[in-house]
């Protein structure tokens, strides 16, 4: 999307404006613009296409269609390289088409055309519904409803579905409750820090030491593993945040990169 209507307390994208769906042509051209920056690359072991970063992808069915067309879109540039599309969703409670979108993504994309080489991530951040209500400004489904959707999804081929936890200093994480709601045979857990966005600073949300040490994640990681979950701990670099390429950052929100960058005019 362009902009976002979820209003999450940790994200700058709502500052861009209300969410508007990118068109099919927009999605295709964004991918091609990136690939054409490096004509010397003729093949890659893995091309990640993330339907995330700005907006909520489940509002936009063009995402499913674009994913199904990816092989044809990129083949002239990188041949038969492995493509790995990923949808990351905040599970908006006002999206009546949410279940159908996820059904199409899992059946047609992940378990279908890509034979497991595609991802699906649920942004959870806390196992406490009151805390989630605050973080997502009341626009995400409660955990019980998310878990019900999870039970409806088919067994994933390839990588399991991901429950993503961007952990702040006061995040509530209860591995026992998570295990009661989600099946570790279908779901894995991913832990990251909350990124250093303007909104996080304004709302006093931070992950102290989250970029230098594994300490902020150790207790949560051990708890999740003890309850049967596979766990990935992902720690970004300051360069990623300074370049505003991490989730929650958006140049159009008025913030500029503090790393060295080059402005490239895109001829249409």
Q: Which residue stretches of the chain are H helix?
A: 24-36, 62-78, 98-104, 129-135, 143-152, 175-181, 198-202, 215-226, 238-242
**Residue 143 region, left (φ>0) first, then alpha (ψ -120 to 50), else beta?**
alpha
**Residue 138 region, left (φ>0) first, then alpha (ψ -120 to 50), else beta?**
left
Structural contact between residues 99 and 64, judged by C-beta atoms closer than 8 angstroms: no
Q: Which of 83-92, 101-110, 225-234, 237-246 has the lowest mean pLDDT?
A: 237-246
More confident residue, 113 or 257: 113
Q: How confident is the model at residue 261 (pLDDT cuts 50, 70, 90)?
A: confident
Please report the pLDDT score of residue 238 as a whole number: 63
Q: By percentage, how much of the chain surpasses pLDDT 70?
A: 85
pLDDT at position 5 over 80: yes
Give the pTM.
0.88
pLDDT tens track for 30-67: 999 999 999 999 999 999 999 988 899 999 999 999 99
Please report the pLDDT score of residue 15 as a whole number: 82
Q: How confident is the model at residue 266 (pLDDT cuts 50, 70, 90)?
A: low
Residues whose CB falls within 8 Å of the CB of residue 204, separated by 6 or more in sequence, listed in order: none
How many Cβ atoms from other residues are within 10 Å of residue 176's Cβ?
10
Please report the pLDDT score of residue 11 as a whole number: 81
Residues whose CB falls within 8 Å of the CB of residue 31, separated by 6 or more in sequence, listed in order: 49, 70, 73, 74
Please report the pLDDT score of residue 267 as a whole number: 65
Angstrom distance (rounded) from CA 160 to CA 203: 33
pLDDT at position 133 over 90: yes
Backbone torsions φ then ψ of 208, nearest 5 degrees? -65, 125
Partners of residue 162 on adjacent β-strands: 121, 188
In the chain, what are the domains? 13-253 (3.20.20.70)
Pair of tokens at residue 41: 């690359």
Task: Calculate mean pLDDT across residues 132-138.
Answer: 93
How many Å from the N-terminal Cα to the C-terminal Cα in the chain?
20
Nearest to 246 by CA among 202, 211, 203: 211
Please report the pLDDT score of residue 235 as a whole number: 76
């Amino acid at each position: 999307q362009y902009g976002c209507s979820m209003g999450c307390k940790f994200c700058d994208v709502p500052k861009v404006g209300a969410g508007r769906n990118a068109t099919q042509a927009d999605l295709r051209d964004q991918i091609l613009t990136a690939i054409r920056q490096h004509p010397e690359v003729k093949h890659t072991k893995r091309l990640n296409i993330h339907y995330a970063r700005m907006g909520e992808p489940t509002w936009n069915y063009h995402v499913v269609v674009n994913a199904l067309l990816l092989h044809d879109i990129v083949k002239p540039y990188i041949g038969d390289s492995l493509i790995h599309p990923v949808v990351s969703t905040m599970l908006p409670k006002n999206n009546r088409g949410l279940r159908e979108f996820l059904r199409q993504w899992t059946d047609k994309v992940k378990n279908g055309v890509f034979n497991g080489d595609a991802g699906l991530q649920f942004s959870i951040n806390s196992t406490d519904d009151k805390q989630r209500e605050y973080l997502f400004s009341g626009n995400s489904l409660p955990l019980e409803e998310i878990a019900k959707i999870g039970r409806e999804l088919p067994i994933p081929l390839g990588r399991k579905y991901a429950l993503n936890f961007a952990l702040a200093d006061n995040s509530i994480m209860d591995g026992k409750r998570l295990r009661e709601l989600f099946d570790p045979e279908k779901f894995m857990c991913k832990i990251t820090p909350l990124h250093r966005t303007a909104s996080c600073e304004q709302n006093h949300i931070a992950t102290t030491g989250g970029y230098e040490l594994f300490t902020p994640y150790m207790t949560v990681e051990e708890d999740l593993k003890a309850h049967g979950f596979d766990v990935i701990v992902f720690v970004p670099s300051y360069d990623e945040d300074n370049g505003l390429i991490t989730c929650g950052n958006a140049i159009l929100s008025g913030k500029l990169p503090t790393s060295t960058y080059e402005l490239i005019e895109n001829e249409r």
